[in-house]
Each structure stands twice: as structure tokens, then as C-alpha cells.
């Protein structure tokens, strides 16, 4: 499972000009789910995302996590993160989970983040989404479990 996280001061997702998810300051999570992923993988990655220290403390160092700054999460499904790009000029998506499994793990990941006490919004799984964000930094990290 892959999470490309971006620290944002705000972000939202629209589908067909209808807003489906919106957050203020926090993290935008682009979530890619691979064939071998399961609920244990989702729990491990969710805990890493929530506890990853990417917010500045009083000295300006990245020492604070999402919970410590009362940040929010916007989780967007992003199957292209599972692409195999080493060969050729066209990505292969053979490493990606099947759509039913990916949908289940995507919502499980988000629900688990909510259980950890984080306000969590979602995009719409398998939709053509428009993601708007205001990067804070920019600060972007690739996390994988």
C-alpha cells in the first residue's frame, strides 16, 4: 500500500462539479492499493500517516504529527501509484489490487483513521475526480507499507 502525502492548508475534491470531500489544514493522502495489501497493511500505513511528523514545532522543525496539530485528512484513491514504470513507455497496472479489494481497503483505511480520532474526508472511489489543494511548504512524502 502506498500513500503519497502532501501537507496542505486546504484541499477539496469534486466529481461532476459536486464537492465530495473538503478539509482545512492537514494532509492530502493519495492512496494506492496493491495486490498483496490487506487490512493489516492498511492499519500499519494509516498509523504511519497519522503519526508521521511533518508539521513544524515552535522552532520550525518537523516534529509534530497530524494529531498534535489537530489536522485533517483528505484520502483520495489513486490506482496509478501502483503502476510499474521501469520498462517501456506505457505504465502497467498489473501490481494494483482488483477494484473490489481496492475499494474495500480504501474505505477501511479511511475508517481506521477516523477511529484514531482524525477528521477524515474522502474522494469518490473510481471516479474522475478534480483535486484542488493549497500546498503548505510544499511538503510531500511517499510512504509505503
Strands 62-64 and 55-56 come out as antiparallel
Lowest mean pLDDT among 9-13, 68-72, 80-84: 80-84
What pTM did the predictor assign?
Answer: 0.95
93 has catalytic annotation:
no
> Catalytic one among 41, 78, 109, 120?
78
79 has catalytic annotation:
yes
Q: What are phi and psi of 60, to 5 degrees?
A: 80, 10
Q: Tell me the pLDDT tens digit for each residue of 55-74.
A: 999 999 999 999 999 999 99
> Catalytic one among 6, 41, 79, 109?
79
Residue ranges covered by each domain of the chain: 2-144
Given this structure, which CATH class describes domain 2-144? alpha beta
Q: At 134, is the pLDDT very low, low, confident or very high (cuts 50, 70, 90)?
A: very high
Q: At 139, is the pLDDT very low, low, confident or very high (cuts 50, 70, 90)?
A: very high
> Catalytic one among 80, 132, 140, 144?
80
78 has catalytic annotation:
yes
Q: What are phi and psi of 54, to 5 degrees?
A: -125, 5
Amino acid at each position: 500500500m502506498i500513500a503519497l502525502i502532501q501537507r496542505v492548508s486546504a484541499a477539496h475534491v469534486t466529481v461532476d462539479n459536486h464537492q465530495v470531500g473538503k478539509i482545512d489544514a492537514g494532509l492530502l493522502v493519495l492512496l494506492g492499493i496493491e495486490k498483496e495489501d490487506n487490512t493489516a497493511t492498511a492499519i500499519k500505513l494509516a498509523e504511519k500517516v497519522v503519526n508521521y511528523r511533518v508539521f513544524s514545532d515552535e522552532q520550525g522543525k518537523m516534529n509534530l504529527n497530524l494529531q498534535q496539530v489537530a489536522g485533517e485528512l483528505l484520502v483520495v484513491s489513486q490506482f496509478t501509484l501502483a503502476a510499474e514504470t521501469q520498462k517501456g513507455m506505457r505504465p502497467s497496472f498489473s501490481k494494483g489490487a482488483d477494484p473490489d479489494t481496492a475499494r474495500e481497503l480504501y474505505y477501511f483505511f479511511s475508517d481506521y483513521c477516523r477511529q484514531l480520532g482524525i477528521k477524515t474526508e474522502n474522494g469518490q472511489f473510481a471516479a474522475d475526480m478534480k483535486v484542488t489543494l493549497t500546498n503548505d511548504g510544499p511538503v510531500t512524502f511517499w510512504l509505503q507499507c
